[in-house]
Amino acid sequence: MSDLLDILLIQQDKTGLNLLEYRQKNTKLKTEHSDIFSGFLKAIQNISKELDIGFPVLISTEGVKGHNCIIVHNPPVNIILLVDHDDPIDLWREQGKEIAGRFLEQFGSLVNAYDVSKYMEFIPVLKEMCQFHGYCE
């Protein structure tokens, strides 16, 4: 697979707080932008819940720097994948489901967004998955 992941966020689904962030070296999104991005996603999720219109699963932008933000809802976590606009959405959704499964297998279903240091132990698993699937540099 030649498609590349820019950023992966693992969030606690109820709070929208980041548990873990994994990024490519060359991604244009800076670390400080991740908090803004997470807040934006949480706001969209809250609006969707308030209006009872379903859970958002995809946000897309177009243009030269167009991206897809694929949201995999797997309580108690959300897996957020920021990928190039031309990448196959269904393929990334499957990767997100696999990542969620491995994360919950390792840490269980009681996630604590106020003690995130232990989730750094998941980085080697993500790197291994990236190398296996070829979606990281």
b/e map 56-76, b = 16+ CB within 10 Å: beeeeeeeeeebbbbbbebeb
DSSP annotation string for 59-118: EE--STT-EEEEEEEETTEEEEEEEETTS-HHHHHHHHHHHHHHHHHHH-S---TT--GG
- pLDDT tier at 3 (50, 70, 90 boundaries)? low
Domain count, the chain: 1
Q: What is the mean pLDDT of residues 75-81?
A: 94
Per-residue pLDDT tens over the stretch 18-72: 999 988 766 666 666 667 777 787 788 888 888 888 878 888 888 777 888 999 9
Determine the Cα–Cα distance for residues 8 and 81; give it in Å rounded to an integer.
Answer: 5
pTM score, whole prediction? 0.86
What CATH number should be reported for the domain holding residue 72?
A: 3.30.450.60
Note down the domain range covering 98: 5-133
